[in-house]
C-alpha cells in the first residue's frame, strides 16, 4: 500500500522566479476557490523573463523527452469550463531529452510580448495569462506546472470627451433633463452632473443613480448577457418641484471597475452604464440608461 501511495507523489518541485519580481508591482487575481492573491503585474510590449527551477524529490531522478515553457493568453467561458481558447501562444525550449538528478535552473525570456487584452475575471468568462512548463515524459505522464501573471494596459486621456445631455419624460406628467460632465471616465474618476426638473406632475418619492456592468458572451443567437449593479447612489429623497436642479457627484474609486472591453477576440464584451431610476409614490419605476466608456489611466507613483 505504501508503494502505491508513493507512486502518486509528485516527482519534482517546479518554482518560477521573475527577474524583477522583487521590485515589480503586484496585481490582484481571484482564484477559482474565491481567494484573491497578489501576483506580478505586466503590460503589453514588456519583456517577461526569469528562471524556472526544477528539483527532483529526494532519491528520485526524472527521465524526460524535453522541457519547454509556453506563454499563453487564454479565454475560458464558464459554461465550457476547462476548454481554453488561446489567443497568444509563444514557446521556448529549455532542455533536450535527458535525465535530471538534482536541482536544475533554466533561464527563459519572452521579448516585447504583445498582450493586447487585460486580465479579466467576470461572471461568465475569464481572460488569463500564464506561463506553462511541460516536462515531457512517455509512459510516466508529462509533468505540467502553471504560473499566472496579471496584465493591465493603460490609455492616455481621450482627446475628445463630450458631455452627455439627455431628456426623459412622460407626456404631460414629467419632463427632466440630465447632464453628465463627460462620456469617458478613468477608473478613479468622479462623475459630475446635474438633473433639471422642467415639469413635475407626478409625486416622485426618490431618485437613484446606478453603475451597471453588462457582460456579453458568445455571439449571434448564442449571446448571453449578465448585468450587475455595482453601485447605487441616492440622489434625492422626497418630491422635487418644477425648476429644481439636483447636483450629481459620484466617486468611482471605491468600486471594482475594469476598462470597457469591446468584442474581445469575438468572445466577449464588457460595457458600463449609468442608470437613472425614479420611483413615484405608487412605487412605479422609471429608468433612463446611458452608456459610459471606462479606461485605465496610467497611475502616478
β-pairing verdict for 268-280 and 204-217:
antiparallel
Convert the pLDDT of each residue in 59-113 to its tens digit: 788 899 999 999 999 999 887 777 889 999 999 999 999 999 999 999 999 999 9
Instruction: Of 114-118, 144-148, 227-231, 246-250, give the lowest mean pLDDT range.
Output: 246-250
Pairwise CA distance, residues 52 & 21, whole Å: 13
pLDDT at position 241 is: 73
The stretch 44-57 carries a mean pLDDT of 93
For cell 440608461, the residue is: 289
> Could you give the CA distance from residue 251 to residue 189 in angstroms, rounded to a whole number?
6
pLDDT at 228 over 90: yes
- Is the pLDDT at 215 greater than 70? The verdict is yes
pLDDT on residue 150 = 95
What gap in Å lies between CA 58 and CA 45, rounded to an integer? 40
Q: How confident is the model at residue 141, as a pLDDT?
A: 85
Question: The whole model's pTM is what?
Answer: 0.86
Burial of 129 (0-12, 13-18, 19+ CB in 10 A): buried
> How do residues 1-48 score in pLDDT, each as one tens digit?
334 444 456 788 999 999 987 788 988 888 777 788 899 999 999 999
Range with the lowest mean pLDDT among 67-81, 178-192, 240-254?
240-254
Question: pLDDT tens for residues 144-180?
Answer: 999 999 999 999 989 999 999 888 777 777 788 889 9
Amino acid at each position: 500500500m505504501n508503494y502505491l501511495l508513493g507512486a502518486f507523489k509528485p516527482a519534482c518541485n517546479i518554482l518560477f522566479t521573475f527577474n524583477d519580481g522583487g521590485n515589480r508591482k503586484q496585481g490582484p487575481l481571484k482564484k477559482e476557490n474565491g481567494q484573491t492573491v497578489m501576483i506580478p503585474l505586466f503590460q503589453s510590449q514588456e519583456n517577461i523573463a526569469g528562471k524556472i527551477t526544477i528539483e527532483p524529490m529526494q532519491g528520485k531522478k526524472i527521465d524526460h523527452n524535453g522541457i519547454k515553457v509556453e506563454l499563453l493568453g487564454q479565454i475560458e467561458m464558464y459554461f465550457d469550463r476547462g476548454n481554453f481558447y488561446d489567443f497568444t501562444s509563444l514557446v521556448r525550449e529549455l532542455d533536450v531529452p535527458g535525465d535530471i538528478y538534482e536541482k536544475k535552473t533554466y533561464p527563459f525570456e519572452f521579448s516585447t510580448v504583445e498582450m493586447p487584452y487585460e486580465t479579466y475575471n467576470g461572471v461568465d468568462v475569464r481572460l488569463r495569462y500564464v506561463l506553462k512548463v511541460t516536462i515531457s515524459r512517455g509512459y510516466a505522464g508529462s509533468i505540467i506546472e502553471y504560473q499566472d501573471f496579471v496584465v493591465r494596459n493603460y490609455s492616455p486621456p481621450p482627446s475628445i470627451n463630450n458631455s452627455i445631455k439627455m431628456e426623459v419624460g412622460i407626456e404631460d406628467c414629467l419632463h427632466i433633463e440630465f447632464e453628465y460632465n463627460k462620456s469617458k471616465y478613468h477608473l478613479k474618476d468622479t462623475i459630475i452632473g446635474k438633473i433639471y426638473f422642467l415639469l413635475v406632475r407626478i409625486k416622485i418619492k426618490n431618485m437613484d443613480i446606478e453603475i451597471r456592468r453588462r457582460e456579453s458572451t458568445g455571439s449571434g443567437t448564442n449571446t448571453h448577457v449578465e448585468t450587475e449593479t455595482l453601485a447605487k447612489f441616492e440622489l434625492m429623497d422626497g418630491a422635487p418641484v418644477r425648476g429644481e436642479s439636483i447636483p450629481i457627484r459620484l466617486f468611482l474609486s471605491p468600486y471594482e471597475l475594469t476598462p470597457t472591453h469591446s468584442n474581445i477576440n469575438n468572445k466577449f464584451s464588457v460595457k458600463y452604464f449609468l442608470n437613472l431610476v425614479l420611483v413615484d409614490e405608487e412605487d412605479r419605476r422609471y429608468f433612463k440608461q446611458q452608456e459610459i466608456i471606462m479606461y485605465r489611466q496610467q497611475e502616478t507613483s
